[in-house]
Amino acid sequence: MEFHYIAYTEDKRLVKGRLSATSEEAATSLLNYGGYQVVSLKSITPFFNMEKLAARFSRVKPREVIMFSRQLALLLESGTDIVTSLELLQSQVTNRTLKKVIGEVASDIRGGSSLSLALGKHPRAFPEIYHRTISAGERGGNLEVVLRQMADYLERGATTEKKIKNALTYPFILVIVAIVVIGILVTFVLPTFTTLYSSFGAELPLPTRMLIGVTDWLIHYGLYLLLAIVAAVALGYVYIKTPAGKYQWDSLLLSLPIMGRINLLGELSRCCRAIALLFRVGLPLPEIMTLAIHSSNNKAVVKALTEVQQELIRGEGLSKPMAKRKLFLPLMVQMAGVGEETGNLDSTLATVAQSFEVEADDRTSSAVGLIQPAMVVIIALVIGFIAVSLVSAMYSIYGQVTF
């Protein structure tokens, strides 16, 4: 990083300049070592930052963090110290962003920082739940175990996300192909037939007149329709970025006819996994709820968890506040109550998470199984209507024109 500084020298002269350092603390140390008394120190943010641009296009994938966690646990278990372990992993990593992050983490640890604090400086690679869990492992002296548990937690989330993406890939491609085919027919094929039919001056069947009317309307007003759709999408996107819009959008995602249940199961399973993991490493429930709140991207779930946390702090426990809100499914509420009574909250919620994941997988497969034939039928109806309109017009013209 580049810093701009203003400082006094030992002979009380005011000097200005720039220097490079890994952090603000390192820049201050360098200036003090050189005999300067720092007055002002500001980081320089260039208009066009190549490092940030490269980091955006070379993001750290969950699979890479999972592999890093497992390898670090293995090295620590073998007796290798933390700095040497990080240096070994840095030499093996191919992702430039992760390699740079690991180097900075190792540098911070050499300077006296703990692993969790060093990881906390890089939230784009290691989310808050990650470094807070690592902090609990450092306090408990079981860092290797916690690293493996964190890797398992991230791996389950990545596997679920990959399954959903793979399941929706074929329907998405099918929709794109259908739009392209219909667009080619409407733009290039139908105008030719329309000109041909008009030259005969014959009365056309109703389906053909409807098709020609729609085609003419799209040719004349299609651009305006496209601009209106783009404007509506842009306005919707801007609204969703507001707190109220984000909350309403996330609530809608949880209440859709088919996908709503799948989205809810996914959110609750991640929540249960997070609470189970953090409870297992020994964090108190109020702090666990804070991290569970931060681990969710759905504002409706965040609001419900925040309200549960507030009532938990007032002494109402975990299951009772959950039972007051329909967002939390009965199985989760019942098993949370059992876990509170037996002291095995981690085991009961891990079981709930597994149950929700299985149900979400089954529902996703069923939904995709319905989407594919439905899309085929819709495309067949549209193209069939176009074909019937063209053929019926040809027969009509043949019957009306006299030679």
Mean per-residue pLDDT, 212-225: 82
Q: What total number of domains does the chain contain? A: 3
The reply to whether 95 and 230 lie within a common domain is no
Given a cut of 60, is residue 280 above it in pLDDT?
A: yes
The reply to whether 375 and 239 lie within a common domain is yes
Element (H or E) spanning 331, and its range?
helix 330-342
Confidence class of residue 69 from pLDDT cuts 50, 70 and 90? very high
CB-CB contact of 51 with 13 (8 Å) = no
Q: How far apart are CA 275 and CA 308, in angstroms?
A: 13
CA nearest neighbour of 353 among 329, 326, 318: 329
Mean per-residue pLDDT, 210-231: 85
The reply to whether 97 and 231 lie within a common domain is no
Domain that includes residue 80, residue range: 60-155
CA nearest neighbour of 328 among 354, 347, 357, 356: 356
Question: Mean pLDDT over all residues of the chain?
Answer: 83
Condensed to tens digits (0 to 9), the pLDDT of residues 34-44 reads 777 777 787 77
Mean per-residue pLDDT, 68-73: 92
Where is the domain boundary, 114, 137, 155?
Answer: 155
Given a cut of 60, is residue 47 above it in pLDDT?
A: no
Condensed to tens digits (0 to 9), the pLDDT of residues 146-166 reads 899 888 888 887 887 787 777
The reply to whether 130 and 227 lie within a common domain is no
Confidence class of residue 349 from pLDDT cuts 50, 70 and 90? very high
CB-CB contact of 163 with 266 (8 Å) = no
Given a cut of 70, is residue 355 above it in pLDDT?
A: yes
The reply to whether 68 and 191 lie within a common domain is no
- Prediction pTM value: 0.68
Both structure tokens of 230: 């783009």
Given a cut of 70, is residue 368 above it in pLDDT?
A: yes
The reply to whether 129 and 141 lie within a common domain is yes
SS (H, E, C) 138-183: HHHCCHHHHHHHHHHHHHHHHHHHHHHHHHHHHHHHHHHHHHHHHH
Given a cut of 70, is residue 208 above it in pLDDT?
A: yes
Q: How far apart are CA 340 and CA 127, in angstroms?
A: 27
Q: How far apart are CA 30 and CA 5, in angstroms?
A: 11
The reply to whether 237 and 313 lie within a common domain is yes
Given a cut of 70, is residue 57 above it in pLDDT?
A: no
Confidence class of residue 1 from pLDDT cuts 50, 70 and 90? low
Would you state the pLDDT for residue 281? 82
Would you state the pLDDT for residue 48? 47
CATH number at residue 332: 1.20.81.30
Would you state the pLDDT for residue 228? 94
Question: What letter would DSSP give residue 60?
Answer: P
